[in-house]
Structure 1
Amino acid sequence: MSEASEPAIARVLIVEDDPMMQLGLEQSLSNQPDIEVVGRADDGYLAVEEATKLKPDIIVMDIGLPRMDGIAATAKIKEALPQVRIVMLTSHTTENEVIAALSAGADAYCVKGTTVERLLAAIDAAREGASYLDPLVARQVMDHLKTPTNAADAAAVGLLSQREIEVLKLMVEGRSNPEIAQALYLSPNTVKTHVRGIMNKLAVDDRVQAAVVALRSGLV
């Protein structure tokens, strides 16, 4: 009888110019059995150099960096290494900064001060090829992307069950699967099944696209 395979180890590069924040991140992430911190950088130029040298799976990236900011560094890294997943972890929350980071190729956006659980949820989403938005910035991003009500999107949303609609509304708020499970008194596996069903019915690839369809349909 074969043993269950061990979860793949995610190799993480931390890009943060605050030494205490960098140390705290390294300690928090190193405590996770499926994460290995393989490098650190404290400015944008070094981030690009280290990413090119180490080829990590995930980069946790600040925006306010010396010499080259995190948005410019993200764009350069994504151009050279499109397979690398980038999680922004920053205190910058203006609409322009959030949209610019996502446009540069960031896969997830977390606000500093968030819980370790939310950061790990963002990293997990990025690892799976999905997107993650901190609830503090999700609404402004959705508002930016919102367009007049679309009949096709409304028809797609009409295929969802009542429970799936409840889950989708929380996804629009930027809630993670564990947070949705807690809010709706469901198990995380049940929420995961609902999220998969929503994406299939809406014909989208990730949570951000699902939220955009919800907005364009007039659901929220």
Structure 2
Amino acid sequence: MTTHLMLIDDHALFRYGVGMVLAAGLVDIEIAEAASLEQALLQSDDAFDLVLLDLQLQGLNGLDGIALIKRKWPHSKVVIVSANQDKHIQDEALARGAHGFISKLETPSRMLELVGQVLAGQLPASTPVPNPDKKPRLSPRQSEVLELLCLGLPNKLIGRRLNLSENTVRGHVQAILQTLQVSSRSEAAFVARRQGLIN
């Protein structure tokens, strides 16, 4: 059975990254996107199983949008996805009817896990929000490798740029994946951009 999901966020890159993570990790999923609540509400009346909603949007904000979404799609689960770490905002979202709160600072694998829990009806009312000050610590060399990795360069070209052997680059990449708690280069790039680890 196909799962229908709506992703509302005004950052196209974030929508693209989350869409890739969810499409790769969930079976039989169809993802619709919107850059604003107004745009989302103009879409089909067919219900979505889950709506991932950013707090900070152009026009109507996410908190005010929860009720509008519930009115249009009464059976849809609404989850706030935001970089806002204010516990009061999280509590307010839940009080207004959100089914959960997922921090944008989560790793892709953790975000995928939480979305799966929501769809299965297992997410607790309050999802713990990680400390935004706890950014992954990379060595200066790893940061250089990560910058080039995010440009899509393969290990061989990264090695040429940094005057390193391909095996050394491979070791740095593996260390980066482990530090960022991700399993692929694309996930590493996604996390790096979201957490401000690259320029």
Whether TM exceeds 0.5 here: the answer is yes
Aligned to 1:122: 114
Task: Please report the TM-score for the alignment, with normalisation by the length of structure 1.
Answer: 0.53
**Take 1:94 and 1:33, find their aligned partners in 2: how far apart are those partners?**
29
The secondary structure found in structure 1 opposite 2:66 is: helix
| CA distance 1:62–1:12, change in 2 (3 Å) | same
Look up the equivalent residue of 2:90 and give its one-letter code. Answer: V
Aligned to 1:99: 91
% of aligned pairs identical? 19
Alignment counterpart, residue 111 of structure 1, candidates 82, 99, 103:
103
Matches within 5 A, 1:1-220: 8-50=1-43, 53-132=45-124, 133-136=126-129
Shift in Å at residue 57 of structure 1?
0.7
Shift in Å at residue 43 of structure 1?
1.0
**Take 1:33 and 1:98, find their aligned partners in 2: how far apart are those partners?**
26
The secondary structure found in structure 2 opposite 1:74 is: helix
The secondary structure found in structure 2 opposite 1:119 is: helix
Gaps of 5+ in 2: 131-199
Aligned to 2:188: none
Shift in Å at residue 93 of structure 1?
2.0
Task: Please report the TM-score for the alignment, with normalisation by the length of structure 2.
Answer: 0.58
Aligned to 1:185: none
Gaps of 5+ in 1: 1-7, 138-220
| CA distance 1:79–1:53, change in 2 (3 Å) | closer
Aligned to 1:200: none
**Take 2:28 and 2:35, find their aligned partners in 1: how far apart are those partners?**
20
Q: After superposition, what is the alpha-carbon deviation per residue over 1:50-76, rounded to whole angstroms, capped at 9, x for unaligned?
A: 3x5342111111100111111111111
**Take 2:127 and 2:109, find their aligned partners in 1: how far apart are those partners?**
12
Contact 2:38–2:60 at 8 Å: present in 1 too? yes
Shift in Å at residue 35 of structure 1?
4.7
Shift in Å at residue 38 of structure 1?
3.0
Q: After superposition, what is the alpha-carbon deviation per residue over 1:159-185, rounded to whole angstroms, capped at 9, x for unaligned?
A: xxxxxxxxxxxxxxxxxxxxxxxxxxx
Q: After superposition, what is the alpha-carbon deviation per residue over 1:86-135, rounded to whole angstroms, capped at 9, x for unaligned?
A: 12110112133112211221111111120122222222222122334432
Contact 2:45–2:73 at 8 Å: present in 1 too? no
The secondary structure found in structure 1 opposite 2:42 is: helix
Contact 1:109–1:122 at 8 Å: present in 2 too? no
| CA distance 1:109–1:21, change in 2 (3 Å) | same
C-alpha RMSD of matched pairs (Å):
1.9
User: Would you say how many aligned residue pairs link Structure 1 and Structure 2?
Assistant: 129
